[in-house]
Amino acid sequence: MREVLLFDAVSKGFDRGRDHVPVLEDISLSVNEGEIVAVVGGGGQGKTTLMRLASGTLPADRGRICVTGIDMSPLKDRQRQRLLASEVGIVTGTGPALPVCVREFVEMKAAAPRTGWRRRHSRRDRRSMTTAILDELGITECADMRWQDLSDWERVIAELAQALVVRPRVLLVDAVTDNFGLRQKEAAMALLEDAARQHGCGVFMAASDHESVLRSVRVWQLHRRRLELWANHDVAETLDADVIPLPKRRDAQ
């Protein structure tokens, strides 16, 4: 499988007055196409910082972050924006910054510039792409609704539709199911599995609890600014003693 996201010895901190406070230290992980990789941690442990680093909206202090094999650190702002607009989809639960309906919200992503020689999608293509992804995710009836009129679940699906409409190689999901019950968390994971399988993207997600990530191929735990491997399905036959195996998904009867 092709590697679509790489953290290589990444560290990040923030200035607090005269002090530089470290948040993440020596973070290394990878995400391949078609798989889900998750990071679990409590509030204030650096999950959102990790997502912002992956999305290119925050520079690392040290280390290397690559998207589809491209190191983002030497890129100019416009090059980075084009790469991320074309190759990365983001689901954060924040919703649109403008008062638009779901269809318009999704089309905004489809209108973003693409990388390399590829041109923007035409208006007709954007409308067709939006209709297709809303239908795929089962929220066509919400197309003309505005953000404030959606349920929490519908908002997650609307953001997922916007993230997937351009067929990204990387899908970033930041703690959007933390306040949901177990049934909705399982439903959200099923949607992410379908996205990884059908769209061939790699999914990198952050959550506050392990119940939200039980179908992930690898689960990392944030602890004292570093990552510890909590579970790994790829090497179930050679697991170390301190790695907890997670149950495989059972197909619905």
Q: What is the pLDDT of residue 94?
A: 87
C-alpha distance from residue 241 to each of 53, 226, 229, 236, 238 (Å): 31, 19, 11, 11, 9
First CA to last CA distance, the chain: 29
Q: What is the pLDDT of residue 252?
A: 42
Higher pLDDT, 185 or 119: 185
E strands present in the chain? 3-16, 19-32, 36-40, 62-67, 70-71, 88-91, 170-174, 202-207, 218-223, 226-232
Q: What is the pLDDT of residue 60?
A: 95
98 has which bridge partners?
none
- Residue owning tokens 């953001």: 159
The pLDDT tens digits for 126-155 are 899 999 999 999 999 999 999 999 999 999
Confidence of residue 120 (pLDDT cuts 50, 70, 90): low
Degrees, nearest 5: CA angle 218-224-227 = 20
How deeply is 227 buried, as exposed, middle or buried, from its count of CB atoms within 10 A (0-12, 13-18, 19+)?
A: buried
**Residue 126: which of 166, 168, 85 has the closest Cα?**
166
C-alpha distance from residue 252 to each of 153, 175, 192, 239, 249 (Å): 21, 25, 16, 27, 9
Integer Cα distance of 62 and 76 in angstroms: 18
User: Given phi > 0 = left and psi -120 to 50 = alpha, else beta, which region is 78?
Assistant: alpha
The pLDDT tens digits for 206-234 are 999 999 998 899 999 999 999 999 999 87
Task: Tell me the two tokens of residue 236.
Answer: 């179930």
Whether the pLDDT of residue 251 is over 60: the answer is no
Contact 61, 13 (CB under 8 A): yes
The pLDDT tens digits for 79-111 are 888 888 889 999 998 888 888 999 999 998 887
Whether the pLDDT of residue 117 is over 50: the answer is no
How deeply is 138 buried, as exposed, middle or buried, from its count of CB atoms within 10 A (0-12, 13-18, 19+)?
A: exposed
The pLDDT tens digits for 21-69 are 999 999 999 999 999 999 999 888 999 999 999 999 899 999 999 999 9
Sequence spans of domains, the chain: 3-98+170-238
Whether the pLDDT of residue 246 is over 50: the answer is no
Q: What is the pLDDT of residue 85?
A: 85
Higher pLDDT, 33 or 246: 33
CATH of domain 3-98+170-238: 3.40.50.300
Q: What is the pLDDT of residue 238?
A: 37
Task: Tell me the two tokens of residue 59.
Answer: 């520079």
**Mean pLDDT in the chain?**
87
Integer Cα distance of 21 and 119 in angstroms: 42
Q: What is the pLDDT of residue 96?
A: 87
C-alpha distance from residue 240 to each of 38, 159, 215, 245 (Å): 19, 37, 19, 10
